[in-house]
Amino acid sequence: MPIYNLGYDTYEESEYIQLSHEHKYSDKEFKQIVRTATANVINKMEIKENKRISFQDIIEDVAEELIQTFGFKRVKFDAEFSVFGWADISDKDDWKEVRGEELNKLTDFVNTELKNKLITP
């Protein structure tokens, strides 16, 4: 089943929502569908004069519009690996208060593998 990526990025964050559809759309077709879904979402909103609306503000609504109106489905992942991205992978003390268990497991594994690896020229 074809998979489509809906998202935004800023200087400090990003968000992406993966959707699937039984029909394979071209990149151009998908972008036009997203434009239409976005216009539909904004059209349904009660917008006060001079209200600023960013894609970040409405991405979930656009995804829901794609699902409800255009027949897309959210992708269900069988597994996921996600860790805090700013911390030094090899240093458990870097960003210690927010690292999380999975990043610490990764650090332990990588550090063990690096110790055991023979470095050859």
Q: How confident is the model at residue 114 (pLDDT cuts 50, 70, 90)?
A: confident
Task: Look at the alpha carbons of 25, 28, 34, 37 in this order and tell me if their dihedral is positive or negative.
Answer: negative
- Domain boundary among the residues 58, 74, 90 is at 74
**How far apart, in whole angstroms, are the C-alpha atoms of residue 98 and residue 56?**
24
Within this chain, do residues 20 and 44 fall inside the same structural domain, yes or no? yes
Q: Report the mean per-residue pLDDT for the chain.
A: 92
pTM summary value: 0.77
Within this chain, do residues 116 and 85 fall inside the same structural domain, yes or no? yes
Write down the pLDDT at residue 118. Answer: 55
Within this chain, do residues 108 and 66 fall inside the same structural domain, yes or no? no
Q: What is the DSSP string of 47-98?
A: PPTT----HHHHHHHHHHHHHHHH--EEPPPS------SSS-TT-TTTTTTT
| CB-side neighbour CA atoms (13 Å) of 114 | 9
Within this chain, do residues 28 and 52 fall inside the same structural domain, yes or no? yes
Within this chain, do residues 32 and 63 fall inside the same structural domain, yes or no? yes
Q: Which domain holds residue 9?
A: 3-74
Query: How many structural domains compose the chain?
Result: 2
Within this chain, do residues 48 and 64 fall inside the same structural domain, yes or no? yes
Q: Write the pLDDT tens digit of every residue in 18-69.
A: 999 999 999 999 999 999 999 999 999 987 777 889 999 999 999 999 999 9
Write down the pLDDT at residue 121. Answer: 44
Within this chain, do residues 91 and 107 fall inside the same structural domain, yes or no? yes
